[in-house]
Structure 1
Amino acid sequence: MALIALAADKGSPGVTTTAVALSAVWPRRVLLAEADPAGGDLVYRSAAAHGGPLDPNIGMLSIAATARRGLAAEQLWDHAQPMSGGLDVVVGLGNAEQAVGLAGLWPTLGRAFNGLAETAQQPADVIADCGRIGPDAAVSEMLSQAALVLLLSRTEPEHLARVRDRAAALSAKLHGAQRGAAQLGLPLIGVLLIADPGNTRLPGQVNDMLVASQTGARVVGVIAEDAVGAGQLSGRKRGRVEKSLLIRSARKVVGDLHQQFGSAWAGPAMPGTGAVQ
């Protein structure tokens, strides 16, 4: 199984772009879910496989309308639609006000996401874009079901300080206050830096800070800050997105994640069907 949850503390570090990029190069079948309570962006950024727009009513909004009667993992496909390029997505809410419909359902949604890889038909891992999370974020109720929580951060000092504090608070919430508990239980908490991949010293320096601060998190990779690649990925710019710094860095992150954690994610999920191979 693998539910991979991506989130950020503050600012605009590119959670949605990173979630799409990781999904596009994921080596197993994957379902991308826009689980941000503040609303999704992909209905505005991306086209559907048929060339028209994605349907905003099929996704988290339709889940909110039906999940109070229960939500089996297999039912997630009823709320998914293919994007241009072939990636399956559960599109996000239209706005934050619609999140009221998901009140109390986040644990149910987390269990369904978590269980999708173990289903007999159409098994898949789930990469969930959870947007910004804070101490009162409702979506945090879903994170205990994840195999890995990835916190995104830019590299300015204020951003690193916030991700350090958020990682520590999230670790205490998910694993308890006992020292070392984060290394023993799930979900693991990782930090993805949005930065120049050529700065090879930076990840180690940030990781040392996280370890010294006893946050229970560690740096797991770097996603390139690549506006051109992000535009190509969304279809707004022309060019070979598979050659972009964004996708190349995403491939390295995904390769490293599967090298470190892939044995724990082994299961029936089918080979990758992402948008960029």
Structure 2
Amino acid sequence: MLIAVCSLKGSPGVTTLATALGARWPGQENPIVVEVDPAGGDLMARFRLPDTPGLVSLAAAARGRGHADPNLIAQHTQLLPGGLRVVLGPVGAEQTRAALAVLASGPSSPLRRAADQPDTTVIADCGRVDPDSPAFPIIRSADAMLLVARPHDDELAHIALKLQAAQQWSRRPCFVLIGDGYSTAEVSQALQIPVMGRVPRDARGAAVLCGHGTGRRRPDKSMLGRAAAKIALNIYSHGHARTASHGTHAPHLRLAVPGEPISGASLQPLGPQTRNGATP
């Protein structure tokens, strides 16, 4: 299964969520998180890891052998504390875009080929995305797309303008809110979007996932980790239901409900922002 995690504006915590999903993935499977953010990766610096193996070495191998080997990605991973497998993106945007020119080209990317293997999940950290992003082909081929946003006026207005187009990017688009702001119900009502999940602000939990945690605090003990676990279980369950039905009658993870066109004006009825950090 291939999951694309991205935002339409700003930096609401896409990398942290992608890492949290991988760390809290259900079952016995050990997913692979791949940094394909065109702006450059964060995990190398966060965890003070070497620059190879990673996305650049993966692209070089794909160029040399082609995209056919489904085990290619696993050969270019490093381990985070706790054992999560990651393919590190280079810090520089220029290097990342050059690697994506190889990895996202052609009818099937190495990420897609790896994700098509039994009991294999690839979580792609795509950063901020639009149709011009070099990571866009990876998003289009994903089994699920998580759109991440903070529930604030500026981000929601931006999303409202791009939402209809974004729904065409994925077969299974999902919406995840990060932190305090408008309540989940207000966002869902104003934008006509069922929100799949909400991740609370949890600086200590995020610090663990960013390599800055102290003591013995684990991701599964944090508010961030518990919220990520619920989202991961939802995606995992739908993915296995789709596989069991051979993709014909499995339930779909839907983003927006049919109705009136969504525009920036949809945000007007919300009124003053609340800071209650309400959860679903």
Answer yes or no: same fold by TM over 0.5. Answer: yes
Cα deviation digits, residues 77-124 of structure 1 (max 9, x gap)? 12112222101110012311112243253145963222324437xx52
Alpha-carbon distance in structure 2 between the residues aligned to 1:205 and 1:169: 22
Counterpart residue number, 2:166: 170
1:237 maps to a residue whose letter is G
Of 60-69 and 103-112, more deviation after overlay is shown by 103-112
Unpaired segments of 5 or more residues in structure 2?
A: 246-280
In 2, distance between residues paired with 1:231 and 1:164? Answer: 31
Q: Which moved more, 1:97-106 or 1:16-25?
A: 97-106
Aligned residue-pair number: 238
* Equivalent position of 2:274 in the other structure: none
Which sections of structure 1, spanning at least 5 residues, go unmatched? 47-52, 175-185, 212-216, 268-277
Shift of 1:206: 1.8
Superposed displacement of residue 35, structure 1: 0.9
Deviation of 1:256 (Å): 2.8
Indicate if the aligned counterparts of 1:110 and 1:146 stay in contact, CA closer than 8 A: no
Local SS of the residue matching 2:91: coil
**CA shift in 2, pair 1:33/1:221, >3 Å:** same
With over 3 angstroms needed to count, the CA separation of the structure-2 counterparts of 1:95 and 1:207, relative to structure 1, is same
223, 226, 241: which is aligned to 2:202?
Answer: 226
Higher-helix-fraction structure: 1
Aligned match for 1:148, one of 144, 147, 150: 144
1:191 to 175, 178, 193: 175
TM-score computed with the length of structure 1 as normaliser: 0.77
Match of 1:40 in 2: 41
Whole-angstrom distance in 2 between the partners of 1:110 and 1:12 = 28
- CA displacement 1:168-188 (0-9 Å, x = unmatched): 22224x3xxxxxxxxxxx521
Normalising by structure 2, what TM-score?
Answer: 0.77
> After TM superposition, what 4+ stretches of structure 1 lie above 6 angstroms from structure 2?
none
Contact 2:40–2:92 (CA under 8 A) maintained in structure 1: yes
Structure 1 residue 265: deviation in Å? 4.9
CA distance in 2, matches of 1:112, 1:265: 20
- The whole-number CA distance in structure 2 between the counterparts of 1:202 and 1:74 is 42
Per the TM alignment, residue 194 of structure 1 is displaced from its structure 2 partner at its CA by 0.2
Higher RCO (C-alpha under 8 Å, 6+ residues apart): 1
Distance 2:244 2:19 in 1: 22
Of 227, 234, 239, the match for 1:256: 234
Amino acid at match of 2:31: V
The 5-angstrom pairing of residues 1-277 of structure 1 reads: 2-27=1-26, 28-46=29-47, 53-69=48-64, 70-71=66-67, 72-98=69-95, 99-103=97-101, 105-108=103-106, 111-119=109-117, 123-172=119-168, 174=169, 186-196=170-180, 202-211=183-192, 218-239=194-215, 240-241=217-218, 242-265=220-243
Contact 1:167 1:189 in 2 (8 A): no
Q: Aligned-residue CA RMSD in angstroms?
A: 2.4
8 Å CA contact 2:16–2:206 kept in 1: the answer is: yes
1:244 CA displacement: 1.2
Instruction: Note closer, same or farther for the CA distance 1:109–1:218 as it changes in structure 2 (3 Å cut).
Output: farther
Task: Give the SS at the match of 2:130.
Answer: coil
Distance of 1:228 and 1:110 partners within structure 2: 38
